[in-house]
A = this chain, B = another copy of it.
Amino acid sequence: MFELLFKKFEEKIQLSEEEKELCRSFFIPKKMRKKQYLLQEGDVSKYVAFVEKGILRSYTVDEKGGEHIMQFAFEGWWISDQFSFLTGEPSVYNIDALEDCELLLLTKKAEDEMMARIPKFERYFRILLQNNLIATQRRLIGSLSKTAEARYHDLVGSCPSIPQRVPQHMMASYLGITPETLSRIRKQLSVRKDRVEQEAKRQA
């Protein structure tokens, strides 16, 4: 259950066996079924979740009922509403499972104790927050300056398995475009790819 978590930790910080043992005790394992909510708008985010298996998404719903996906979380990623988690304010996000999932949950109390007992986690959690900010800033600049096609290209580039694992209308929602537009973009891309492949054949 904890293999992936420790693998991820060890990309950034080193842990002794005792520390790992201690670590385990802070997390609550949880299985979730597809479509199940981890967090609903208006509730307080009690956990940060580490994804051992499956995919989740966080999203807001606007006045007209439109969904806007803030984040997808695949295996090895973290997901939560950081703001609600830290402040105890009700969340504006929903988080739900796109597939059956296995999670490791951390409460605020557990996180604080973890940082107190193993101070290098201070740094670790700060890096997570940092990376989240950077990714969001990049996405913002992209959404202000790039075409829908370029944004789709970036998304698939940074997460190649996404078209296989996430429904197309959700990718559209993440990109801030309609499902129709994404469908047309994909068609164009495949036509263009075909042409390139034909060229390559003719060359050979």
Q: How many interface residues does A have (CB within 8 Å)? A: 24
Interface pair A132/B130, CB less than 8 Å apart: no
Chain A 79-103 residues near chain B, CB threshold 8 A: 82-83, 86
Chain A 117-160 residues near chain B, CB threshold 8 A: 126, 129-130, 132-134, 136-137, 139-141, 143-145
| Smallest CB separation, A124 vs chain B (Å) | 13
Chain A 142-198 residues near chain B, CB threshold 8 A: 143-145, 175-176
Q: List 17 A-B contacts (CB under 8 A).
A: A68-B141, A68-B144, A68-B145, A70-B141, A82-B130, A83-B133, A83-B134, A86-B126, A126-B126, A126-B129, A129-B129, A133-B136, A136-B136, A140-B140, A140-B143, A144-B175, A145-B176
